[in-house]
Structure 1
């Protein structure tokens, strides 16, 4: 399974789960009048829209290069991941804060509390399944790195975006359960509104973290050190290369790297031999490192005049 196919599978699983959960939560909020449940419904609806945007971003990023975009459209996925983070903050967190404050100012007791418990239980099951799928995929991608370190080094925002959204969803369900239960047992309906504010805080923190990571990718990040070292090794192994002075790489997409090499060649090389050497280097790098889509070589001595 390719990395993109794995990411797409994770997104589809989250999309199906969040859509069903959103419909169920809105129905429960209508029958019970729970502010926390309404916030959870908005949360799931926003997550559903986010998955659609991530799939759209992956599809746009897969388009081949054209005259206006000679290096391809790989950064589309970074752009739409950033938009997803903004939506989580503006819609998910914003509506949750609004509902919470509104319910604190005008509290109403929760009706038919059993309906809320059934919906929260089913939502936890569906979200748990989607979260497990996203977690397994992320674990395969991260290797031995810690979770936060893996996110910061990851060049594929779709995987960790879905994982963090699902994690926030599970935390939101826990907050909603506690708020609704406390409001019912203590007969303090304001606690239901406080639950909505708590959900908003979780969503705001998630959105800020996702936006920060997506921004770095959108601006352009270097390839991993292991990839850069291998590029230098492959170029330096050519018999007509004296040394590789420098390598500059940038990710245009999760599996789309552009590399620029500064190389000192043997002085006795004729133009045809130099051209043949450059072709060998480009072919060798792109053949072994499938994520490298373009290689540019600049002949340059170690100490240029």
Structure 2
């Protein structure tokens, strides 16, 4: 995503990573994988949400209520991700000529909004209310503990599925590299949500457990507040990354370098400037101005453009559109020369 995607390839390579082929580099960007993780998380959260609501109704625990809302938010989010994935496959139209690939980013951004409002703010509000009017857990005292432990097992299974999905598409990259570099939102969102869910369950267990031991309902409120703050933080992280994708992130530095290598040849001496942008998780738009040889004819230039496009698509199948403008290289002081800073 946005943070590591701006690290220049030469610096990234110096950090001890071996050279990877363009096919291998494509893995962390492609949209493959993620559906199984989303479906697994959706089914798990439906059951967890129902169980937590029952626990809240019987015990009155604010931590259980916060966790119930958390699970409802997660369930809504997974449904949104599935909708976005299906909608993004719609064919391009006259109005949306580059397709609907960014719908997946919109779904991811809405996920962040739901986590922030329905999950985080509501949990914090409930915590403030319960802290001002604390109530010990009097009925079904140990039921919330049992439900939270079962929820931890189910969330752990969902997280394991998401990590397995990431393993199948990340290639030789580490999980951290994959999550920060991928342009597909589904797996990073699910991994963050499931990790946050497990941490939130720990907070809930702490709040409920301390309330049962001390008979002080303020501990329950503290657990709810911790869950709310956690959800707000996760929402901000997701929103930041989704906004970066919606604005339009460039190709990864190594993809940019590979395109630059493939695009030069024949009648083209060098790249004057090269611009790239993801119009979807697995679609890249390429626009380049190339310096042509002085004696090249119009026919040779046209054939050279076609040949360059074939080379690029062969090296990087996720290429959606290629626009090449032949030109004569100007002086070094020309602001249009040089590749973009990455």
Provide TM-score, normalisation by structure 1: 0.94
Residue number among 31, 36, 46 corresponding to 1:9 in the alignment: 36
Question: Displacement of 1:255 after TM fit?
Answer: 0.7
Contact 2:53 2:64 in 1 (8 A): yes
Q: Note the 1:6-155 alignment, pairs <5 A.
A: 6-110=33-137, 111-139=139-167, 140-141=169-170, 143-145=172-174, 147=176, 150-155=178-183
Q: Note the 1:262-277 alignment, pairs <5 A.
A: 262-277=289-304
2:211 corresponds to: 183
2:223 & 2:37 partners in 1: Cα distance?
29
Say which structure is richer in helix.
Answer: 1
Q: What RMSD over aligned residues (CA atoms) do the two structures have, in Å?
A: 1.9
Contact 1:152 1:213 in 2 (8 A): no
2:273 & 2:172 partners in 1: Cα distance?
28
What are the ranges of 5 or more consecutive residues in structure 2 without an aligned counterpart? 1-26, 335-342
- Cα distance change of structure 1 residues 5 and 144 upon mapping to structure 2, 3 Å threshold: closer
Count of matched residue positions in the alignment of Structure 1 and Structure 2: 303
1:265-284 per-position Cα deviation (integer Å, ceiling 9, x unaligned): 22222222221211111122
1:159-200 per-position Cα deviation (integer Å, ceiling 9, x unaligned): 111111111100110011011010110111111111111100
Question: Displacement of 1:253 after TM fit?
Answer: 1.3
Contact 1:39 1:199 in 2 (8 A): yes
- Cα distance change of structure 1 residues 23 and 3 upon mapping to structure 2, 3 Å threshold: farther
2:278 corresponds to: 251
Tell me, what secondary structure is at the counterpart of 1:13? helix
Tell me, what secondary structure is at the counterpart of 2:183? coil
1:97-148 per-position Cα deviation (integer Å, ceiling 9, x unaligned): 121111112222212122112211111111001111212333552744572x
2:172 & 2:105 partners in 1: Cα distance?
22
1:87 & 1:260 partners in 2: Cα distance?
36
1:242 corresponds to: 269
Residue number among 244, 255, 267 corresponding to 1:216 in the alignment: 244
Tell me, what secondary structure is at the counterpart of 1:52? helix
1:40 & 1:142 partners in 2: Cα distance?
35
Provide TM-score, normalisation by structure 2: 0.84
- Cα distance change of structure 1 residues 142 and 208 upon mapping to structure 2, 3 Å threshold: farther
What are the ranges of 5 or more consecutive residues in structure 1 without an aligned counterpart? none
Residue number among 222, 231, 240 corresponding to 1:194 in the alignment: 222
Q: Which has the higher contact order (CA 8 A, sep 6+)?
A: 2
Residue number among 177, 181, 195 corresponding to 1:167 in the alignment: 195
2:269 & 2:154 partners in 1: Cα distance?
58
Question: Displacement of 1:3 after TM fit?
Answer: 4.7
1:272 & 1:299 partners in 2: Cα distance?
12
Tell me, what secondary structure is at the counterpart of 2:101? coil
1:94 & 1:14 partners in 2: Cα distance?
22
Contact 1:155 1:254 in 2 (8 A): yes
2:328 & 2:319 partners in 1: Cα distance?
25
Question: Displacement of 1:226 after TM fit?
Answer: 0.8
Contact 2:166 2:175 in 1 (8 A): no
Say whether 1:281 aligns with 2:308: yes
Contact 2:145 2:209 in 1 (8 A): no
Tell me, what secondary structure is at the counterpart of 2:289? strand
1:209-260 per-position Cα deviation (integer Å, ceiling 9, x unaligned): 1111111111111100111111111111x32221122211011111111011
